[in-house]
Amino acid sequence: MIELGDTKLPVVLQIHHRDSALIATIEFPLHKQALVAAALSDLSFDRDVFRFHTRSFGSYEGHMSADGLRIVGAFTNYEKRHALILNSGEIELAESVRPQTPKPPYGYSIEEVRVDNPNANNILAGTLTMPSGRKPRAAAVLITGSGGLDRDETVFGHKPVWVLADHLSRCGYAVLRLDDRGLGESTGIRVGMTSADSAGDMSAAVNYLQRRVDLQDIPVGLIGHSEGGLIAPMLAAQRADIAFVVAMAGPGIALGEVMAERECLALAGRGASQDTVVKHGQFARALFRQLGEIPVTEMIDAAQVAAIAARFGAAETATKNTSEVWLRAYNLPWFRYAFRHDPSESLRRMQAPFLAINGSLDAQVPVKSNLGAMAQILAAAGHPDYEIAELPGLNHMFQTCSTGEEFKYPMIEETFAPLALETISAWLNARFK
């Protein structure tokens, strides 16, 4: 168990030899359905002292017991120290408890559907839920966050998009949720995809709803989470027939700025000095700016990232940015497009009624800068109907929490705070009867 304040997090370390080298992986298996893994670097075992480094918790040093069955040590990350005792053996995992996952009877109709996107030659599989015994107030396409996700946005055993769809259909809305392209039952190729491609898929979903006989003359809108909160305004700026947009933890500033701020906040939270945080912020903004400017076909490598870090005196904090995992990400078309895209353009152009919500403890899309930017942009554009809401005590996944760190998502039984669900449905109900 690693001790993180008042939280104890189970840890499994798998250690073996490969070609005379010591190889190890670290896993955080909170539940059978909620495995969180992290990469290790700087691994060594010398004179009964075991050392390694992780990007999330810092450097670990532990001493092996005389019988070789136990390692006692701690992670240190700037001024913070987290004890970790490793014991030989297996760990028994409990089933995830997710009380909000919908269960029958549902109280609304459920239909498995297929959405054709001829422009991309793919078919999206999904679920359409419709209120029973009444005409829908409106219809919504739910848009998941970044990375390949299923129609429920399943993560750590949580199914937030299903929970939201269930709530909205009980409130009288038709709701369509879809497996991402190339995942689940959806066809298509994900290699080379960008947010613009996802917007094309969601546009096909809007067309599908508009063509249905049982939804004729029903307004169709978009509700997106995280990257989905970027895609929804993007599509609404392109289509005047979008009836409403709800952005949940969507960005109001460019991705490079979001990521730089996020990294700086994480450093500060781990006890880094103000000078260290400022230097890292300057480095990160320079790196992400360069990634947005160079051709997509031009790869960036660790030496180039390290050189940028050195210019700003941020070599110590840039180790994550030079890792293989992040270098692969930086060279993906998705990231290159995202670093070029300015969400303010979509926000200025769209005219659909707009709700933006974010949790006050969001550690992935910092709330003040992103909601603040949205409010300024929409006010300056003279948008006719918008609302910006910071929801207290919620994280990026809209779970009730005391702190917003990502590693705590699986520990929380709640999937989607009632405050967030009711904020969305109340805003919609005020506009659609």
State how far the Cα of 80 lies from the Cα of 31, in Å rounded to an integer.
Answer: 27
In a domain, 13, yes or no: yes
Q: 346 and 307, same structural domain?
A: no
State how far the Cα of 108 lies from the Cα of 181, in Å rounded to an integer.
Answer: 26
45-81 tens-digit pLDDT: 888 899 887 766 778 899 999 998 899 998 887 667 7
**Which of 322, 338, 354 corresponds to the end of one domain?**
338
Q: Running DSSP on this structure, what letter comes out for residue 158?
A: B
Q: 229 and 364, same structural domain?
A: yes
In a domain, 97, yes or no: no
Q: 245 and 259, same structural domain?
A: no
Which CATH number does the domain housing residue 348 bear? 3.40.50.1820
State how far the Cα of 238 lies from the Cα of 199, in Å rounded to an integer.
Answer: 10
SS3 176: strand
In a domain, 248, yes or no: yes
CA–chain centroid gap for 242, Å, is 24
Count of domains forming the chain: 3
Q: 53 and 126, same structural domain?
A: no
Weakly modelled stretches of the chain, pLDDT under 70: 4-7, 20, 28, 30-39, 41, 55-56, 78-79, 93-94
Residue 34 is predicted with a pLDDT of 53
| Residues 6+ away with beta carbon under 8 Å from 368 | none
State how far the Cα of 184 lies from the Cα of 117, in Å rounded to an integer.
Answer: 16
User: Please, what's the b/e burial string for 313-327 (b: 16 or more CB within 10 A of its CB; e: otherwise)?
Assistant: ebeebbbebbbeebb
Tokens standing for residue 308: 């940028």
Q: 213 and 354, same structural domain?
A: yes
In a domain, 419, yes or no: yes
In a domain, 93, yes or no: no
Q: For CA atoms 166, 171, 173, 174, give the dihedral sign.
A: positive
| Residues 6+ away with beta carbon under 8 Å from 163 | 100, 101, 102, 415, 416, 421
**Which of 338, 370, 390 corresponds to the end of one domain?**
338
12-18 and 7-9 beta bridge pairing: unpaired
In a domain, 92, yes or no: no
**Which of 32, 57, 87 corresponds to the end of one domain?**
87
Residue 53 is predicted with a pLDDT of 79
State how far the Cα of 410 lies from the Cα of 429, in Å rounded to an integer.
Answer: 32
In a domain, 368, yes or no: yes
Count of other CB atoms within 10 angstroms of residue 256: 22
Q: 273 and 353, same structural domain?
A: no
Residue 227 · residue 198 · CB < 8 Å: yes
| Residues 6+ away with beta carbon under 8 Å from 51 | 42, 43, 44, 45, 59, 60, 61, 62
The H or E element containing residue 373 is helix 367-381
Q: 425 and 300, same structural domain?
A: no
Residue 92 is predicted with a pLDDT of 72
Full domain range(s) for residue 285: 255-338
Q: 127 and 270, same structural domain?
A: no
- Look up the pTM and report it: 0.88
Q: 419 and 395, same structural domain?
A: yes
In a domain, 82, yes or no: yes
Residue 88 is predicted with a pLDDT of 85
Q: 332 and 348, same structural domain?
A: no
109-123 tens-digit pLDDT: 999 999 999 999 999
Q: 369 and 281, same structural domain?
A: no
SS3 37: strand
Q: 188 and 302, same structural domain?
A: no
